[in-house]
Amino acid sequence: MSAVVFEAFSYAYPGTDKVLDHIDLTVPRGAFTVITGPSGAGKTTLCLAVCGAVPHYFGGALAGTVRVNGGKTTDSTMYNLARQVGTVLEDYESQLVTMTVFEEVAFSLENRGIDEKETARRVADALALVGLSGFEDREVASLSGGQKQRLVIASVLAAEPDILVLDEPASALDPQGAEELYRLLGRLNVEQGITIIVSNMT
Ligand SMILES: Nc1ncnc2c1ncn2[C@@H]1O[C@H](COP(=O)(O)OP(=O)(O)OP(=O)(O)O)[C@@H](O)[C@H]1O
């Protein structure tokens, strides 16, 4: 079974013309896929379709289907999809909701009723994966932009998704930061077997 399959998928936001028109795309399990296109091409919308925000959050009109791990996104909830798909928005700072690094990664786990011991294990593992071990007590506001982005990646990894979607993750990074980010994503792909989908401006 493929990780993500778009089948003749078209989509318009409420009140707009089609933003995506008849997309056919198969992302095999374990792939590292880069979606490129100019500004306004629909890269963000495509990312939002994988995590289910399109159409669950935005509404709008659609045709065709998007399947994640075989199931249609429209048959699932965003909550259930979040366990399968970790999403890092281009404006990743908007995903940060707590004071400290530990709380940030623990937040969604505690909301799901995962016990303290398992939460501590997952937080430690996720922070280690992104190179933020030892940052647990740091205030989120004190981190650099790149560190904040890695914290968001750790927060979504703590849910142990098998697919990671990142919308233009390098857009706010300098060349060295972008290289480090892609090295991290490569490790997550090769060592953790996570399917990666990244959008990137051409
Ligand atoms: N919430 C929304 N409501 C209405 N139209 C939208 C919304 N979000 C995006 N659009 C429109 O959908 C089209 C595709 O936008 P999208 O953000 O997916 O493109 P993009 O390729 O990610 O662009 P960029 O590289 O500039 O971020 C654009 O014409 C945009 O104006």
Q: Is 55 in the pocket of ligand 1 (CB under 6 A)?
A: no
CA 45 to ligand 1 center in whole angstroms: 6
End-to-end CA distance of the chain: 30
How confident is the model at residue 122, as a pLDDT? 96
Amino acid 79: pLDDT: 87
State the pLDDT at residue 33.
97
3-state secondary structure of 181: helix
- pLDDT, residue 201, reads 85
At 139 the three-state DSSP class reads strand
The pLDDT value recorded for residue 53 is: 96
The rounded Å distance from CA 190 to ligand 1 centre is 31
Structural domains of the chain, ranges and CATH numbers in brackets: 4-201 (3.40.50.300)
Quote the CA–CA distance of 82 and 87 in Å, as a whole number: 8
For residue 140, what pLDDT is reported?
A: 97
pLDDT at 118: 96
The best mutation among 21, 34, 43, 90 to test binding of ligand 1, ranked by most ligand atoms within 8 Å of the C-beta, falls on 43
Residue by residue, DSSP assigns 56-70 as: HTT--EEEEEEEETT
To 10 degrees, the CA torsion angle through 32, 27, 85, 198? 40
| pLDDT at residue 112, rounded to an integer | 87
Q: What local confidence, expressed as pLDDT, does residue 176 receive?
A: 92
Q: Cα separation of 192 and 202, whole Å?
A: 28
pLDDT at 60: 96
Quote the percentage of the chain above a pLDDT of 70.
Answer: 100
Distance 42 CA to ligand 1 centre (A): 6
Backbone angles phi, psi at 33, to 5 degrees: -115, 130
pLDDT at 1: 87
Q: Of 139, 145, 164, 144, which is closest to residue 154 (Cα–Cα)?
A: 164
Closest C-alpha residue for ligand 1 atom 12: 19
pLDDT at 72 (0 to 100): 97
Mark the ranges of the chain whose per-residue pLDDT is less than 50: none
Q: 50 alpha carbon to ligand 1 midpoint, in Å?
A: 15
- Ligand 1: does its nearest atom lie under 6 Å from the Cβ of 41? yes
ipTM passes above 0.90: yes
Instruction: State in Å: Cα 41 to ligand 1 middle.
Output: 7
Beta-strand (E) ranges in the chain? 4-12, 20-27, 32-37, 61-68, 71-72, 85-88, 163-167, 195-201
What's residue 111's pLDDT? Answer: 87
